[in-house]
């Protein structure tokens, strides 16, 4: 996994609440056996008409948002299906950060596994960033994970919280499986104990 480095990018506003993972990547694109190449299909049913033409007023189709790397979204972003194709599609599009008041649990977890940072902020700060994002391509925000800060285009600084272990993994591009396999002894000890306590499992 690539290390998560401080970057400055365009933020797009998506104020709709309850954007679900079916919206982020509809089922017809789940038939792939690869992780890559889904960016072109992100938000497919909102982004294209039936003939495959772009819907002009969808935010990511507007000229000033085509290079978006930060989404500022409504409540409960990523609800519904566990499909990791949702963060794969967003990452492939170029999204590195999603900001919302709340995220669905599985989507939130899936982001970290793909080098993406979901940031939870209180409503008034999401409102502030949403207003900044509305400005279009001049609204370049800077996200600094080490310092846990977002800096708006006006130079305002918004602090955010992040789980220390997940921060460490993102900053260092660490592979979860490798880390867990270092604890193989603990797993083996647990299996021995569990086999005695619950032999039927």
Which SS3 state, helix, strand or coil, does residue 64 take?
helix
Which SS3 state, helix, strand or coil, does residue 177 take?
helix
CA geometry: angle 176, 80, 101, nearest 5 deg: 80
Binding residue for other proteins, selected from 12, 79, 89, 117, defined by CB under 8 A: 79
The answer to whether residue 171 forms part of the interface with other proteins (CB under 8 A) is no
> CA 168 to CA 126: how far, in whole Å?
24
Instruction: Give the shortest CB-153-to-other proteins separation in angstroms.
Output: 23
Instruction: Give the shortest CB-37-to-other proteins separation in angstroms.
Output: 12
Binding residue for other proteins, selected from 32, 40, 54, 195, defined by CB under 8 A: 32
Phi and psi, residue 123, nearest 5°: -50, -45
Closest Cα partner for 67 from 136, 149, 154?
Answer: 136
Chain residues binding other proteins by CB under 8 A are: 15-18, 20, 22-23, 26-28, 30-35, 45, 50, 74-76, 79-84, 87, 102-106, 109-110, 113-114, 163-165, 176-177, 179-181, 183-184, 186-187, 189-191, 194, 197-201
């Amino acid at each position: 996994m690539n290390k998560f480095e401080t970057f400055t990018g365009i933020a797009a506003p998506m104020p709709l609440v309850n954007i679900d993972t079916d919206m982020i990547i509809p089922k017809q694109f789940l038939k792939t056996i690869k992780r890559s190449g889904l960016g072109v299909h992100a938000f497919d049913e909102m982004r294209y008409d039936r003939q495959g033409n772009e819907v002009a007023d969808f935010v990511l189709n507007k000229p000033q948002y085509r290079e978006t790397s930060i989404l500022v979204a409504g409540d409960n972003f990523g609800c519904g299906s566990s499909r990791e194709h949702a963060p794969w599609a967003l990452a492939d599009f170029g999204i590195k950060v999603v900001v919302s008041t709340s995220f669905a649990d599985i989507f939130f977890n899936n982001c970290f596994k793909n080098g993406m940072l979901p940031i939870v902020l209180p409503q008034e700060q999401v409102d502030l960033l949403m207003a900044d994002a509305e400005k279009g391509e001049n609204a370049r925000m800077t996200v600094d994970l080490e310092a846990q800060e977002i800096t708006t285009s006006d130079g305002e600084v918004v602090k955010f919280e992040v789980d220390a272990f997940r921060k460490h993994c993102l900053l260092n591009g660490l592979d979860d499986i490798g880390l867990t396999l270092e604890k193989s002894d603990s797993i083996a000890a647990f299996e021995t104990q569990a086999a005695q306590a619950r032999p039927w499992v």
